[in-house]
Amino acid sequence: MDYLEQIDKIMLNFISELGYEPINLMFSKINSGKKLRSKLLLKITDINEKSLKLCAIIELIHAASLLHDDVIDESDVRRGKPSINATFGSKNAIMLGDILYSKGYFELSKFEPFIACKLSDAVSKLSIGELMDVSMGEAFNEDKNAYMQMIYNKTAVLIEATAQCAAFLQGEDELKFGEYGRNLGLAFQIVDDILDVTQDSKTLGKPALNDYKEGKTTLPYIYLYEILDEKEKAILKNYFKKDLSDEQIFWIKDKFSEHKIIEKCAKDVKNLANSAIEAIKEYENLGLVEVIRSMTDREF
């Protein structure tokens, strides 16, 4: 059994300990992700019972945040399969998320105060990020700084805290590894932004340009808006949160191409990757370099 399977087994044991079969059923329908946070943690610290248990806790917390996220976004699909809210209803999805958070916190309380405090604080910020995302979805957002703060809270903060906790377990510099995690998290989200506008729906597991339809003014749209003339800005804003025709989708993609917006976003990703690697350069951790390079050294 490899370590990712061991993490899944620990998570299942956590849920089974609650002793309520409907929870087991719903949890079994959650599609296991790539476990980026666990892979990150185990490339910083030793693989043992304690570190694997911490991975399982972080994965529970992450899964809980996605359950709530899908309800907020009214998403029917998660990783190419029906979401929990689509299968069991939004009320059950919200309660399952609450249960995963609560169980995660209970298990977290058994760890050192630094780890418990760091991760619980990250989840508070993550929830604030969700609120910011909802608020920003009410109208077209042209403020890059506001968007970057939102994705830091919603995506990067838990990755940052994971790296800090792993460094703590290993007796390394938490701030330096936290800087790596922060930049990795921001780069991860911007890559996701890019893929939403460059990949087809089959590859994504959701409709292309779905972010914009859902009211998310991601970085490509912010950069595009900055460079358009007033007439074109009005057109782009008019398409916000709309079901777009093929012609309208072509117009947006054509403008992305004309103004080299994807290349501009990709440059930001590369800069974040370089900053992440620089933060931990002294440790010569090739595994962490590989994690971020595999995500960022690609064609979009």
Percentage of the chain with pLDDT > 70? 97
Considering the domain architecture, whether residues 134 and 182 belong to the same structural domain is answered as: yes
Considering the domain architecture, whether residues 106 and 120 belong to the same structural domain is answered as: no
Considering the domain architecture, whether residues 254 and 150 belong to the same structural domain is answered as: yes
Pseudo-torsion of CA 102, 108, 110, 111, nearest 10°? -170
205: containing domain:
113-300
Q: For strands 77-78 and 81-82, give the pairing.
A: antiparallel
Provide the pLDDT for residue 30. 92
The alpha carbon dihedral of 167, 282, 187, 295 has a sign of negative
Provide the pLDDT for residue 206. 61
pTM of the entire structure?
Answer: 0.94
Considering the domain architecture, whether residues 105 and 174 belong to the same structural domain is answered as: no
For residues 131-137, average pLDDT: 95
Closest CA to 188 of 145, 221, 219: 219
Considering the domain architecture, whether residues 33 and 148 belong to the same structural domain is answered as: no
Q: How far apart (Å, rounded) are the C-alpha atoms in residues 12 and 6?
A: 10
For residues 212-238, average pLDDT: 97
Considering the domain architecture, whether residues 52 and 174 belong to the same structural domain is answered as: no
Q: Which range is least confidently modeled, 38-52, 66-80, 118-132, 143-157? A: 66-80
Average pLDDT, the chain: 94
Question: What DSSP letter does each residue of 203-245 carry, written as one string?
Answer: HHTS-TTHHHHTT---HHHHHHHHHS-HHHHHHHHHTTTS---
Considering the domain architecture, whether residues 53 and 106 belong to the same structural domain is answered as: yes
Given 111, 132, 167, which residue is the final one in a domain? 111
- Amino acid in the structure at residue 272: L
Given 81, 111, 141, which residue is the final one in a domain? 111
Contact 104, 64 (CB under 8 A): yes
Closest CA to 101 of 220, 15, 214: 15
Q: How far apart (Å, rounded) are the C-alpha atoms in residues 144 and 190?
A: 12
- Amino acid in the structure at residue 189: Q
Considering the domain architecture, whether residues 245 and 123 belong to the same structural domain is answered as: yes
- List, for residues 70-96, the tens digit of each pLDDT value: 999 888 888 778 999 999 999 999 999
- List, for residues 161-197, the tens digit of each pLDDT value: 999 999 999 999 999 999 999 999 999 999 999 999 9
Q: Which residue has the higher pLDDT, 205 or 120?
A: 120
Q: How many domains does the chain have?
A: 2
Q: Roughly what angle, to the nearest 10 degrees, separates helices 246-258 and 261-279?
A: 60
Considering the domain architecture, whether residues 117 and 88 belong to the same structural domain is answered as: no
Provide the pLDDT for residue 201. 59
Instruction: Mention every residue, 6+ apart, whose C-beta is less than 8 A from residue 233.
Output: 225
Q: How far apart (Å, rounded) are the C-alpha atoms in residues 299 and 297?
A: 7
Considering the domain architecture, whether residues 245 and 118 belong to the same structural domain is answered as: yes
Token pair of 198, please?
């460059």
User: CB 90: neighbour CB atoms within 10 A?
Assistant: 17
The enclosing domain of 293 has a CATH number of: 1.10.600.10
Considering the domain architecture, whether residues 289 and 299 belong to the same structural domain is answered as: yes
Given 111, 132, 162, which residue is the final one in a domain? 111
Residue with tokens 């418990």: 116
Considering the domain architecture, whether residues 89 and 161 belong to the same structural domain is answered as: no
